[in-house]
A and B are shown apart, each in its own frame.
Chain A
Amino acid sequence: MAIDQATVRKIASLARIAITDDEAAAMEGELNGILGWVEQLGEVDVTGVEPMTAVIPNTLRLRDDVVDADPLTGGGRRDDILANAPEPQHGFFGVPKVIE
């Protein structure tokens, strides 16, 4: 199905990417080209085929129910986590005001 520029803007908004009118015009052609090409998958008979969710058989492991079981991925690392944030404030991620 063909994508028009309004749809391109809608996708960009869902993807949280600002685009200009020129970019929307260029992407209209590119996305139509790529999506038109992938639509050939519609011709494959997939009757009775389950969608693949794991490429190599593996069982999901559950972590032990222990606080800070792993010192690297557990808690107590606020400064490390905030170290690369653009505007940390008072030990939190800072964002522009979201309430009036």
Chain B
Amino acid sequence: MTDLTNLTVAEIRDGHRAGDFSAVEVAEAFNANVAAAKALNAFIVETPDRAIEAAKAADSDRAAGTLKPLSGVPIGMKDLFATNGVQTTAASHMLEGFVSRYESTVSQKLWDAGCGMLGKLNLDQFAMGSSNETSYFGNVISPWKRNDGGNAALAPGGSSGGSSAAIAARLCPAATGTDTGGSIRQPAAFTGISGIKPTYGRCSRWGIVAFASSLDQAGPMARDVRDCAIMLENMAGFDPKDATSLDLPVPNWEAALSSDLKGKKVGIPKEYRLEGIDPEIDAMWDAGIAMLKDAGAEVVEISLPHTKYALPTYYIIAPAEASSNLARYDGVRYGLRDLPQGAGLQDMYAATRADGFGPEVKRRIMIGTYVLSAGFYDAYYTQAQKVRALISRDFTAAFETCDVILAPTAPSAAFGLGEKTADPLSMYLNDVFAVPASLAGLPAMSVPAALNREGLPLGLQIIGKAFDEQGVLNAGLAIEERAGFTARAEKWW
């Protein structure tokens, strides 16, 4: 029999429906891969029993003729989603041991659709990071290695690095991710998989540990575009419990997939041609342009004049919102409490937060506290909110002349663990292409497009109009079909 862990979500769903294999066989195969891949450190908690339990239910449902949309598909859940009865930590010491008594809306939707849970996936602490080096539970190691024989451990991207590593290493066919400034797209690009951040508000944020509320958005990560469409259909939808949730029907994205781009215009933002960028990134971008032309699209140059201000805008707004959201971790209501001998309430707060937050989280809370403090609020925060409006307007103007935008996902391939940790700014610059779409709340996805000279995956990014996930998925499919990306990490773990 073929190795079930090489199947996509669609293949598992359809094969299970057709009776080619049982859901229990699928769950057992993935459970075995998870158990054998400790070296990647992709999971914080493994839940093989939950996967088997859902698989048994899927097999009974098939016998009874009551199959659900994703019956028989086990998945990984980023440990930022609250899961009833299973520890949720956001990869922090602060929430170590926190077992929520409720289920996030997105995860509940996936269980209702028939999915089973293989475990809770590692991430950057409170989703703050681009390399998965800020987790309290240790770095996630990418399954990929450079072909130079050097054997350096590489970053799987962040913050959804446990998700990207697990999918690339065949520990799960799909996983949830969240994207605040590129945290679905950049790790997808680093590990040769696909991932889509939908329009802000498509997926409910209820039950997801909050980082920056005006930016956070859940989305799927999977091996191909079709699987992303299937997963997103089962994650999205109106939720009255989230005031920012969009009250719109969920389109049938999978059924409408089409890589025929005749009549479509693809915008190429000239400001994304960065000086000094790796020529391989530009070459991949040019190849992507040729692929979309081949699919029938017309290519037009567009301008997003405020692009250079997107990152500094992001690094004011995201920390500001984080400093507010993370104020709830005070040693009173959740998880950790550090009460020094004879300490009062204020000292307890300060000691708990000093102990519970890692350096990157503290750094961002401090920045956020500063930019929101009296005397600096208008100079930093209000100014950033105004520039954000201009960045959003740039996109609105660009979409008057094009349907989707094509750009690289990240300015480089995966870097080595530890290579950028000493300089926070150089780490932040890794999100230069991903952040603008986040600030504008637009749907955007990354698809693998090429290998670089070191044998590492590179991703192309497609950005769409608000609510036009279909246009993004279709352009992604056109690239996927033409790039023919079949490379995978050689197993060493």
A: residues with CB less than 8 A from B are 3, 8, 11-19, 27, 30-31, 33-35, 37-38, 40-42, 44, 46, 49-56, 58, 60-61, 63, 70, 72-73, 77, 80-81, 83-87, 93-98
Contact = CB atoms under 8 A, between A and B. Distances in A.
A80 B390 CA distance: 44
A87 B336 CA distance: 10
B100 A87 contact: no
Contact of B441 (A30, A33, A44, A56): A56
A17 B390 contact: no
Contacts of A40: 309, 312
B425 A18 contact: no
B370 to A, nearest CB: 5
Contacts of A13: 350
Contacts of A34: 315, 363, 367, 424-425
Interface of B: 97-102, 199-201, 214-215, 240-241, 243-244, 246-247, 306, 309, 312-313, 315-316, 323, 327, 330-337, 339, 343-351, 353-354, 357, 362-363, 365-367, 369-370, 373, 379-380, 382-390, 392, 424-425, 439-441, 466
A83 B306 contact: no
Contact of A58 (B246, B344, B385, B390): B246
Contact of B102 (A12, A38, A49, A72): A72
B197 to A, nearest CB: 12
Given A40-B312, A44-B306, A44-B309, A83 B345 contact: no
8 contacts: A14-B369, A16-B353, A19-B354, A49-B389, A51-B388, A70-B241, A86-B336, A94-B332
A41 to B, nearest CB: 5
Given A34-B367, A42-B379, A52 B392 contact: yes
A92 to B, nearest CB: 10
Contact of B386 (A38, A51, A87): A51
Contact of B99 (A19, A46, A83): A83
A61 B239 CA distance: 11
A89 B232 CA distance: 43
Contacts of A27: 363, 366
B392 A55 contact: yes
B333 A85 contact: yes
Given A14-B373, A72-B102, A38 B241 contact: no
Contacts of B354: 17-19
Interface centre among B247, B333, B466 (most CB of A within 10 A): B333
A96 B345 contact: yes
Contact of B344 (A15, A87, A96): A96
